[in-house]
Structure 1
């Protein structure tokens, strides 16, 4: 089966992190907490810019 990386239907903002969690079969809440912590500890802007780019590029489910 060919998996595709798409946004999640169970979205908080745009479904990017949820879609990544579904693709790698990881708990969505855990990945969201890790992403939020990484965003705070890396100076906020780099991961926010990455999230916006991913939200624009990733197709909807």
Structure 2
């Protein structure tokens, strides 16, 4: 995979890796990570932060454009 350093990538929700809103799928595609790992980290972060990470997820759902 080659990257063109002059072209910024857009941070979007995923249509391919979508369970709820595609936020975790979009994050995984952007960083080139496994989508299941991002989902697991999101669930763990939600439990550890007492629900604050869930609010961040909802905010990302509203702010991230769909592909």
Structure 1 unaligned segments of length 5 or more: list them: none
After TM superposition, what 4+ stretches of structure 1 lie above 3 angstroms from structure 2?
Answer: none
Structure 2 unaligned segments of length 5 or more: list them: 1-6
State which structure, 1 or 2, has the greater radius of gyration over its C-alpha atoms. Answer: 2
What secondary structure does 1:29 align onto? helix
CA RMSD in angstroms, aligned pairs only: 1.0
The alignment of Structure 1 onto Structure 2 pairs a total of residues equal to: 60
Match of 1:37 in 2: 44
TM-score normalised over the length of structure 2: 0.82
TM-score normalised over the length of structure 1: 0.89
Point out which structure has higher relative CO (alpha carbons under 8 A, 6+ apart): 1
